[in-house]
Amino acid sequence: MFIIYGVYFSLFYFLYYVIKKIFIISPELRQIPSLPLIQTIQFNFKGYLAREPLLHVTRNYLTESANKRGILKYFDILLGNWIIVVTNPELMKEVFQRADAFQKSSQNERKTSVAELKFIGYNNILFEIKEAHLRHRRVSNPAFTHSWPPELFGNLAIELFEVMDKTAEKSHTLDVFHFTKGFTLDALGLAAFGYNFGVIRGSGSELEKAYLTAVNGMSDMKYVIFPFLEKIPRFRRPELMNRIDYLNDVILNIIKERNQNLKFKKFKKVNNDNDDGDDYDGPRDLLYYMLKAEETQDNLKSRLTTEELLNDMKIFLVAGHDTTAIALAAAIYFLGINQECQEKAREEAIRIMGDEKKNIIPNSEQIKELKYINMVIKETLRIHPPAPITLFRRAQKDTRLGEYAIKKGTMVLPHIYASHHSEKSWEEPHKFKPERFTNEKDTANKHLPFGGGNRICVGMNFSYAEQRVFLTMLVRKYSWKVTEPSIHKGELQVVPTLFGLTVPKNLEIDFERRF
Ligand code: HEM
Ligand SMILES: *[C@@H]1O[C@H](CO)[C@@H](O)[C@H](O)[C@H]1NC(C)=O
């Protein structure tokens, strides 16, 4: 009896709660235009129940309405809250720049699955806010501002081309995302903590398996929506937990070993930019530069704990892996659809690096000369941003955003994809036109694929460097077109993913070797 009453009560309470949230809204919210009811229902149900990718529901139900005024509110069923979507670039910049007023919504607010907690935790550079976030950033920023040796990416590209050529002996049609994903994980392992995952070579290391299992486990929607499942014996995932433990152990040991290694070789004062002020002769990776930044920090409270460092290493993998792989696959797609752009990119690469029939890794000087390829990269990130939205922001106090009053606690979402497809900011936004980036100044304020303000993607320059080397070498070695018939004729189709990342769906490309 009591149980039944309890269930009824909870049900009514839930309904009451939702209805209250939807209908009783503050005057501040009222002045912001709403997404029409029909689209709100389609957006929520197709997105959450039918599991259509975020990109598809965004294109179909949100983008046009949101861009009418550059700001809009909609009710999000899963979050049980009104969300203010911001697409006007000036308002987006304001949200990014006023980080004290519009903090990232704290991850402690949401129920997190055990897998996610164990894998990346709360205390990392991506999720922390305020002082703790600054602490992570202080150590990471200098590590990321070092220029990256082109060979880091170039040697992996050569490895990848060998594998592509072997695969092509059987069929010229290649699933590009599979290849770019191997490339970016290998690059990150080496760049972050000097570890070669060997994904390209297909050596299938235990660490690679553990990492991929952890990412998949964390992204399982069942557990994202119902984190309490893991408390029910039948739904526990012991194998997944073992893999995550293994992953943590391996990376932790790498950190400890490196620490030992660096302690041996006393840091000297840094005299000039080229002299790192030590006689350490191991890999100059992110871990090295971060430990070094820690060493010079006298205030022990400002240092990162080993666990925080470990979490950041894993965040670099998670945040940099699929995102850059998407960017590369999408660039290949758009150059495949727009053959004249591919020709131009190839002409540029050949003009700068010659047409000798062998792989050449561009050097730093040559990379600086790559104007058109750089424009291709930017246009790809505009038209197909790997991260179509940022994380949610929450107003920390009653404040204003442009002409709108915003109440404390309101959730605000800068919408990269919608903003990049606004006719107010971009002429013919659905057309792939690298030329729009001819003058940096025309686009700097509205091209926001990496977010902005003090939470701008810390890996932005790393990702650009990686893409420049890879695409330059790719256009010299291959010409390609999108395999016919293709599901991607009109627009690039994607699969559903946890953070809405725009991962292409079965993107098949016909490659032809030039040597
Ligand atoms: C094309 C590739 C990439 C795209 C499109 C991208 C996009 C983004 C965006 C939009 C944000 C801001 C999120 C927000 O404000 O809510 C972000 C943050 C971040 N990204 Fe990236 N990213 C890329 C590559 C990378 C790489 C290669 C790394 C690491 C090596 C990385 C590491 C991070 C980290 C650590 C943050 C959090 C920064 C902070 O909150 O202080 N990303 N990224
Ligand atoms: C990227 O490089 C530019 C120019 O070198 C620099 O001004 C900028 O601060 C860097 N951005 C990040 C996020 O590291």
Integer Cα distance of 388 and 460 in angstroms: 15
Asked if the model's pLDDT at residue 351 lies above 90, the reply is yes
- Tokens representing 197 are 């995952």
- Return the pLDDT at 17: 77
| pLDDT tens by residue, 222-252 | 888 888 888 899 999 999 999 999 999 999 9
- Tokens representing 508 are 């098949």
Asked if the model's pLDDT at residue 275 lies above 60, the reply is no
For ligand 2, whether the C-beta of 145 sits within 6 Å is yes
Asked if the model's pLDDT at residue 461 lies above 80, the reply is yes
- Return the pLDDT at 384: 98
| pLDDT tens by residue, 377-397 | 999 999 999 999 999 999 999
Q: Supply the residue whose CA is at minimum distance from atom 3 of ligand 2.
A: 461
For ligand 1, whether the C-beta of 455 sits within 6 Å is yes
| pLDDT tens by residue, 299-315 | 777 889 999 999 999 99
Place 274 in a pLDDT band, splitting at 50, 70 and 90: low
What is the rounded average pLDDT of the residues 7-27? Answer: 79
For the chain, the average pLDDT equals 92
Ligand nearest to the backbone CA of 440: 2
For ligand 2, whether the C-beta of 456 sits within 6 Å is yes
Nearest to 124, CA basis, from 225, 248, 223, 298: 248
The percentage of the chain sitting over the pLDDT mark of 70, rounded to a whole number, equals 96
Ligand nearest to the backbone CA of 457: 1
**Ligand 1 centroid – CA 449 distance (Å):** 9
- Tokens representing 442 are 């025309």
Integer Cα distance of 113 and 118 in angstroms: 9
Question: Can you tell me whether residue 123 is helix, strand or coil?
Answer: coil
- Respond yes or no on whether the N-terminal peptide bond of residue 27 is cis (omega within 30° of 0): no
For ligand 1, whether the C-beta of 451 sits within 6 Å is yes
Instruction: Consult the annotation and say whether 341 binds a ligand.
Output: no
Element holding 215 (H helix, E strand): helix 206-219
For ligand 2, whether the C-beta of 146 sits within 6 Å is no
Q: Which residue has the higher pLDDT, 7 or 482?
A: 482
Ligand nearest to the backbone CA of 328: 1
Could you tell me the fold of the domain covering 87-513?
Answer: Cytochrome p450 (1.10.630)
* Residue 145 near residue 273 (C-beta atoms within 8 A): no
Place 399 in a pLDDT band, splitting at 50, 70 and 90: very high
Q: Supply the residue whose CA is at minimum distance from atom 14 of ligand 1.
A: 390
What is the rounded average pLDDT of the residues 120-132? Answer: 93
- Tokens representing 212 are 């991929």
| pLDDT tens by residue, 50-104 | 889 999 999 999 999 999 999 999 999 888 899 999 999 999 999 999 999 999 9
| pLDDT tens by residue, 111-122 | 788 889 999 988
| pLDDT tens by residue, 415-449 | 999 999 999 999 999 999 999 999 989 999 999 99
Q: Any idea where the domains of the chain sit in the sequence? A: 87-513
Q: Supply the residue whose CA is at minimum distance from atom 21 of ligand 1.
A: 457
What are the phi and psi torsion angles at 57 (to 5°)?
A: -70, -30
* Residue 293 near residue 138 (C-beta atoms within 8 A): yes
- Return the pLDDT at 271: 53
Residue of 378, 457, 464 to mutate, ligand 1, most atoms within 8 A of C-beta? 457
Q: Give the range with max mean pLDDT: 17-21, 69-73, 121-125, 496-500.
A: 69-73
**Ligand 2 centroid – CA 461 distance (Å):** 6
Integer Cα distance of 430 and 446 in angstroms: 15
What is the rounded average pLDDT of the residues 10-27? Answer: 79
For ligand 2, whether the C-beta of 144 sits within 6 Å is yes
- Tokens representing 357 are 């029939």
